[in-house]
Chain A
Amino acid sequence: MKALVAVKRVVDYNVKVRVKADKTGVETANVKMSMNPFDEIAVEEALRLREAGKVSEVVAVSLGVAQCQETIRTALAMGADRGILVQTDAELQPLAVAKLLKAVIAKEEPGIVIIGKQAIDDDCNQTGQMLAALLGWPQATFASKLQFGDGRAEVTREVDGGLETVSIKLPAVVTTDLRLNEPRYASLPNIMKAKKKPIVTMTPQELGVDPAPRLVTLKVEEPAKRQGGRKVGSVAELVDKLKTEARVI
């Protein structure tokens, strides 16, 4: 059985993003790009399944501009076996990504798909659920534990009240939460080895998918700044201020 992971190229989580002056988006020129952290967790989980003998191969898929190759290389350096790039310069929204992944999955026939629960750029939290819907597969979102059984998986999910465990039929889509695992770093020899691993490129047209966006971004603005920075000298002064100035206690 194969595992397929989807990896998104996003602005690195350490970068303080800046809104463009013309309000069309955030500045991405000359900004460090990395793999979406939740997708790193997805790659790690797939590798652990392979190491445990539950899956035979890990395929990493990325969708977007040519530079998404780098994101796939990162997954290959972590240990994924091969890559697929669905290359387009068009803006891709989650519904289009789910349709493209569905087309890739029709070719690859994985037994499990693992992807990050959300990307830290658009914060959408949709692609996994949409993909499961289009495939007619079960979904286990926000996973913090994944165990394989006979034709099924038992997944513990992080929900608002605590944890919830579901049993899902395979094939299925699992989306990762923070506590699922701690992703490994790629070693230098593995980074070298990854350069020789194959990446196949295809296009939305070849996959028969129209990726046109359904949402139009009219503008992107900075949120109102908070005026903070005042200090108080003691607990008594703090309680005073909260009672008489802020009037919140």
Chain B
Amino acid sequence: MTVLVVAEHDNATLKPATLNAVAAAAELSRQGTGDIHLLVAGKDCRPAAEAAAKVAGVSKVLLADDAAYDHALAENVAPLLVRLAEGYSHLLAPATTAGKNLMPRVAALLDVMQISDISAVVSADTFVRPIYAGNALATVQSKDPIKVITVRGTAFSPVEASGGSAAIETVPATASAGLSEFLRAELSKSERPELTSARIIISGGRGMQSGDNFHLLEKVADKLGAAVGASRAAVDAGFVPNDYQVGQTGKIVAPELYIAVGISGAIQHLAGMKDSKVIVAINKDEEAPIFQIADYGLVGDLFKLLPELEAELAKRQ
């Protein structure tokens, strides 16, 4: 009953979502499963494996270093996991776009169902997962011999990134499937924290009216050390890139403080942020549904209120 967690990394460092997935594995351990192993598959990824070896609670790191695993192409990484699966009762990955891309392919090759986006561990074979955009929570039991699982990061507090001293074991690579090829990435560059691990998030919606107006949010974000997000409406309108999207099919976030600006509160947006500890809504329409779930609502013109908020925060720093 050993649990293998697929680490998400950029070959040099671990992505924070890995620590939340290990936390879910630790929860399984408390339910009676055994050791936790981390798989680092990539190209020239030994530094990431060394970081993985320090993660609290991890007893072994499997390092698969090969050109085939560069950019985590599912066609190449899935056969590796299938080969490794024999020794494990559970295969876990973060429910990020990388994990969601990879794990169902692994599950199908193993002829098991995947359990998507779990938000709680009930026992070694029973899990809670949100359905219908989080409007219902299903408790499901898997009858499969191996549980293939993706983990909702916001539902599990990350384990410590340090303190562990796992052994690193090199595993032989599987051959490239030759089906797909990475061409290029256009990744957003930002000095601000990542949305899924930020303590404070300020998001804009259609009410922002243009992408240029997002600088009003960014100024407030910089005062708070916050990440900047957006509703689907703002992304669809082309104000900001897709990776800003918070919602049912975008990123799921649960920061200490979520400030929704010019966002009406469509169900699919609420699905992505309603587990935030404190929610603030700023909207000119006092009937906007977002106010029903906001701890603090402020009705008014965001183009007046955002500069005021920035000034007020500056004054009190």
Contacts and interface: CB of A to CB of B under 8 A. Distances in A.
B193 interface: no
B183 to A, nearest CB: 4
B164 interface: no
Contacts of A178: 232, 235-236, 249
Interface stretch (B18-26, B43-51, B309-317): B309-317
A98 B195 CA distance: 33
A249 B116 contact: no
Interface stretch (B33-41, B138-146, B165-173): B138-146
Interface string B104-138: 11111101111111000000001000111111111
Contacts of B126: 218
A202 interface: no
Contacts of B109: 133
A196 interface: no
A198 B291 CA distance: 49
Interface string B78-91: 10000000000000
Contacts of B286: 231
Interface in B247-304: 248-249, 251, 256-257, 267-268, 274, 277-280, 286, 291-299
Interface string A100-144: 000000000000000001101111111111111110011111101
Contact of B295 (A26, A122, A127, A230): A230
B132 to A, nearest CB: 5
Contacts of B106: 133
Contact of A95 (B75, B103, B107): B107
Given A165-B185, A215-B115, A231-B298, A160 B104 contact: no
A211 to B, nearest CB: 12
Given A126-B114, A138-B75, A142-B97, A232 B296 contact: yes
B203 interface: no
A232 to B, nearest CB: 5
Interface string A181-209: 00000000000000000000000000000
How many of chain A's residues touch chain B, expressed as a range?
35 or more
A36 B312 CA distance: 45
A217 B139 contact: yes
Nearest to A127: B104
B97 to A, nearest CB: 4
Interface string B227-259: 000001001100001110000110100001100
B242 A228 contact: no
Chain A CB within 10 Å — which of B75, B115, B279 has the most?
Answer: B75
A11 B132 contact: yes
Contacts of B137: 220-223
Interface in A42-94: 93-94
A151 interface: no
Contact of B101 (A17, A26, A120, A129): A129
A29 interface: no
B101 A249 contact: no
Given A123-B132, A235-B308, A93 B105 contact: no
Interface of B: 71, 73-75, 78, 96-98, 100-109, 111-117, 126, 130-144, 177-188, 196, 200, 224, 232, 235-236, 241-243, 248-249, 251, 256-257, 267-268, 274, 277-280, 286, 291-299, 305, 308-309, 312-313, 316
Interface of A: 11, 13, 16-17, 19, 26, 38, 93-95, 98, 117-118, 120-134, 137-142, 144, 154, 157-169, 172, 177-179, 213-223, 226, 228-232, 234-236, 238-239, 241-243, 246, 248-249
Which are the 8 A-B pairs with shortest beta-carbon distances?
A129-B104, A130-B108, A138-B179, A133-B108, A126-B104, A214-B113, A162-B187, A161-B187
